[in-house]
């Protein structure tokens, strides 16, 4: 199953970047939206338009921001209390940092943004981080359901 999910992510990321030229934050939101069948409002995608390291400034990575936004949207739709969602976001950031070394585009994309870059330099990183996000959200949902039934 995980290879099927990884392939779906790989294909969706490639299409998002090369066909539609969508940034990493919106790509993350869109892919997670499709995987979890959770609609994303157009205002959310409009808000995320500059979230690729804060418009290329290399601040917090759009791959992180898109996932955090999706966690809020998804778990709110599941009627999870805000305090639990805040804790999930904290744990996501903690685990993301443990896995990838940083939350910052500055660290994750050390060369920055340049006109000389190959197109969509972060494509492979995007696939890995979106799969990480998918797994984190899936596991969190299972844990919340299990805790509710105890």
Of 78, 96, 87, which Cα lies nearest the Cα of 148?
Answer: 78
Alpha helices in 16-122 (DSSP H): 24-36, 42-47, 53-56, 62-77, 82-100, 105-108
115 has a pLDDT exceeding 80: no
Indicate the Cα dihedral angle 102, 108, 110, 111, nearest 10°.
-160
Question: b vs e for 77-105, b when ≥16 Cβ sit within 10 Å of the residue's Cβ?
Answer: eeebeeeebeebbeebeeebeeebeebbb
- CA atoms of 43 and 109, how far apart (whole Å): 27
118 has a pLDDT exceeding 80: no
Q: Mean pLDDT throughout 97-105? A: 93
Number of domains in the chain: 1
> In which band, very low, low, confident or very high, does the pLDDT at 26 lie, cut at 50, 70 and 90?
very high
9 has a pLDDT exceeding 80: yes
10 Å Cβ neighbour count for 15? Answer: 14
56 has a pLDDT exceeding 70: no
* Containing structural domain, residue 57: 2-148
80 has a pLDDT exceeding 70: yes
Q: What is the Cβ-side half-sphere exposure of residue 123, based on CA atoms within 13 angstroms?
A: 15
10 Å Cβ neighbour count for 14? Answer: 15
13 has a pLDDT exceeding 70: yes
Lowest-pLDDT range of 18-32, 37-51, 101-115: 101-115
Average pLDDT, the chain: 90
Residue 130 φ/ψ region, left for φ over 0, alpha for ψ in the -120 to 50 degree band, beta for the rest: alpha
20 has a pLDDT exceeding 80: yes
């Amino acid at each position: 199953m995980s290879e099927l999910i990884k392939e779906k992510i790989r294909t969706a990321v490639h299409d998002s970047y090369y066909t539609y030229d969508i940034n990493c934050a919106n790509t993350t939101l869109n892919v997670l939206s499709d995987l979890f069948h959770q609609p994303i409002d157009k205002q959310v995608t409009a808000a995320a338009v500059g979230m690729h390291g804060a418009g290329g400034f290399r601040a917090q990575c759009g791959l992180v921001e898109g996932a955090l936004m999706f966690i809020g949207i998804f778990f709110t739709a599941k009627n999870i209390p805000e305090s639990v969602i805040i804790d999930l976001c904290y744990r996501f950031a903690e685990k993301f940092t443990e896995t990838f070394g940083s939350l910052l585009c500055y660290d994750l994309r050390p060369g920055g943004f340049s006109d000389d870059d190959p197109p969509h330099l972060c494509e492979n990183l995007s696939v890995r981080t979106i799969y990480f996000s998918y797994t984190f959200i899936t596991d969190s949902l299972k844990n919340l359901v299990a805790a509710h039934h105890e």
